[in-house]
Amino acid sequence: MNTKLDIVFSALSDSTRRHILTMLLEDDMAVTDVAEPFEMSLAAISKHLTILTRSGLISQEKRGRVKWCKLEPDALRDASIWMQSFGQFEAVNLDAFERFLERELDNDTA
C-alpha cells in the first residue's frame, strides 16, 4: 500500500482542487486570487489548499503579508509511474494534464 499515492489521488478526486491546479499551471497565485472564481468562503478554499499542500501537489509560501501558491508538478511522478505499470499509460505530460484538467473544469461547469 502506497500512502503517498493514496493522498495524491484523494487530492485529485475533488473538482475544486483540480480547478485550482489548472489555475496554477499558468503561474503562482496569491491565495485570495485562487479563491476569487469560487463561490465559497476563503476558509473553504484554504481547506482545499491545505489538502493540495499535504499531498505535495502545491506548495505555499508567505511573501510579505501575502500567501502564494505554486504548482509542484513533480508530485505527479509517483502516480505516473504507478499508472505506467499497467502498460497502457504514458508518463504524465503536463500539457496533456492541463488539457485534462480544463476538460474536467468544463464538464463541472456545464
| CATH classification at residue 89 | 1.10.10.10
The pTM of this model reads 0.75
Largest CA distance in the chain: 47
Residue 26 domain boundaries = 3-105
Indicate the length of the chain as a whole number: 110
Count: domains in the chain: 1
Residue with cell 469560487: 38
Instruction: Give 61's DSSP letter.
Output: E
| Tens-level pLDDT at each residue, the chain (110 residues) | 568 889 999 999 999 999 999 999 989 999 999 999 999 999 999 999 999 999 999 999 999 999 999 999 888 888 888 777 776 655 667 777 778 877 877 877 66
Q: Could you tell me if residue 70 is inside a domain?
A: yes
Is 110 inside any structural domain?
no
